[in-house]
Amino acid sequence: QDEILCNFWRCYLQKSKQAYCKRPAGETVKALSVCESSTDVDSDPERPSLLHLLSLSESDGDLQTDCSFASSVSKVSDSTSVYSGSVDGSLYSMKNQKEKLRMTMPMTLSFCYMALLWLREPITLSELLRFVVEGHIPYLNVFQHFPEKMKLCGLDLRIFCVESWPVYEEVFNKMHELAAFLDLPRFPDITDSCFLHPDMLCMKYLMEANLPDELHNWTCRVVKKIGIGEVDFLTLMPGNKSTRKVKYDVLAAAVIVVVLKLLFLLDDHYEWLLSDFAEERNKNNTEGGPYFEFKKWYEVVKQSLDVEQKKLDEERAKYLWRCEKPLFYSVKNKSKVLKRRQMVVNLQNQFGKLSGSVRRAEKPNPSSFQLSWSEENTDGSCFHGHSLKGVLQEKCGLLTAMNPDYWLCTVKLCNEKLCGHLAHYREVEFPQSYHFVLGLFSFLLRIQPSYIHDEVCMIEHKLFNKKLYKKLKYNTVLRK
């Protein structure tokens, strides 16, 4: 992947005219570190030699002496307090409205994701961001991995000193802007054998959400019906403003939510009635696997979810943002910073000893699954093999849902371009069960429930397209 990334990077530098003939070393060495940080955890990182890269960049890059370079030098010399270790650090800090695609730390992730998408790697954006937060991908204190020559100080700090975790939407949107900016061609096709195809992702998420495998038939049906499994829909075509950008992970989660609504209604009444009904049928059920009972599933999953959520909240409160290598703005406050650092370390030791618990020395390996359920557990806490027969009925030889109703999340979609969302999610306006299901996937993907809600609305409107435009204003509950 390094090559892909470096190609992207070079292209970016060309396009944004940031390659200066006098000191290209600064830029390319930065590129090198970005490459190193993007390597997939499972494979061995290939490290292209520094010289190789340097020579490449010098020959390919559009190395004009930009007039802005000269002006930036003069600006630096005017304000002696402005001090940065890199050539263009001061340029970066000056607010420039025209240049929206200035390099930032979240942008490095956009680059990474773009490369991963190009290669159709089995990793979603939400997973990538989760790995970043869990520390498997250097981000927080990435300057620790810089070579000795690159000293970070002054205004560079603002760029490299990360004070917040990247947000899905931000990275996602920037990636698309970047793809358009670089005039990239159509990305490699996402077919139904790709990991990012909704059918595949649904399978994964169903497993992780401890839902029966049989639901996969239903998700595939929904995907097929609304055409979101088509190659043209899924593949990224940069610069094409008419197609909606696909969030593969959120989309798959939303499909599952819609399927749950189809089968269980999720209006805080029906799903429990259905569950009781399934429980009754289960008592007489001797053949095959047990019928799926919503109530049991809810109890098991809620318990695990609460535990994991609590752990996550505590982890978030206990993040250590700084590292051993302190940063300082200038040589002047170096000693002060070092003294502070020393005091912080002392206090950490003193109170750490009193905390009574041993902090994990080793970080656990990155895992694709956050919740896992094993069929071998005898306590019946795994629902993968459960049958949906409890909620289905036979009609004309086909199994259809017993639930005849459906409620739309919203009758009218908002204009995404104006207000940024398709719908506005407020917990109090929706049933608790719906909120729970959103919450489950919100936890797994580490995004706000409203993002999933948006996708759910989009899917529903595609699914019930015909009926919506026929029906009059009163109905929010439709008969299938």
Measure Cα distances from 71 to 53, 86, 96 in Å: 28, 16, 14
And the tokens for 251? 């989309």
Determine the angle formed by the axes of helices 105-118 and 2-15, rounding to 10 degrees.
120
How many residues form the binding site for other proteins (CB under 8 A)? 34
| Cα angle value 425/247/106 (rounded, 5°) | 95
Pick from 15, 341, 384, 462 the residue near other proteins by CB under 8 A: 341
* Residue from 65, 144, 346, 432 binding other proteins (CB under 8 A): 346
Tell the smallest beta-carbon distance from residue 315 to other proteins (Å): 10
The smaller minimum CB distance to other proteins, of residues 41 and 338, is found at 338
Whole-number minimum distance, CB 81 to other proteins, in Å? 17
Q: Which stretch binds other proteins (CB under 8 A): 157-165, 181-189, 264-272, 404-412?
A: 157-165
Q: Does 448 bind other proteins (CB under 8 A)?
A: yes
Identify the residue among 347, 375, 429, 480 touching other proteins (CB under 8 A): 347
421 lies in the site for other proteins, by CB under 8 A: yes
Binding residue (CB under 8 A) for other proteins from 284, 350, 365, 377: 350
* Pairing, β 405-407 against β 477-479: antiparallel
Q: Pick the piece of the chain touching other proteins (CB under 8 A) from 52-60, 80-88, 97-105, 348-356.
A: 348-356
Residue 164 near other proteins by CB under 8 A: yes
Specify whether the backbone of 120 is left (phi greater than 0), alpha (psi in -120 to 50) or beta.
left
Residues 314-333 binding other proteins (CB under 8 A) are: 314, 316-322, 326
Closest CA to 458 of 194, 270, 233: 233
CA dist., res. 84 & res. 152, Å (int): 8
Nearest residue to 68 via CA among 91, 51, 52: 91
Does position 307 bind other proteins by CB under 8 A?
A: no
Residue 302 binds other proteins (CB under 8 A): no
Residue 21 in the binding site for other proteins (CB under 8 A): no
Nearest 5°: phi and psi at 142? -65, -20
Q: How far apart are CA 173 and CA 190, in angstroms?
A: 19
Rounded Cα gap, residues 348 and 318, in angstroms = 12
Of 43, 51, 100, 356, the one binding other proteins by CB under 8 A: 356
Any contact of residue 418 with other proteins (CB under 8 A)? no
Q: Which residues sit opposite 405 in a β-bridge?
A: 479
User: Please, which residues have CB within 8 angstroms of residue 264's CB and are 6 or more apart in sequence?
Assistant: 270, 271, 274, 294, 391, 403, 433
The answer to whether residue 170 forms part of the interface with other proteins (CB under 8 A) is yes
- Contact positions with other proteins (CB under 8 A) in 65-124: none
Question: Which of 351, 361, 362, 417 is in the footprint of other proteins by CB under 8 A?
Answer: 351
Is residue 167 involved in binding other proteins (CB under 8 A)? Answer: yes
Residues lying near other proteins in the complex (CB under 8 A): 163-165, 167, 169-170, 313-314, 316-322, 326, 337, 340-341, 343-344, 346-348, 350-352, 354-357, 420-421, 448
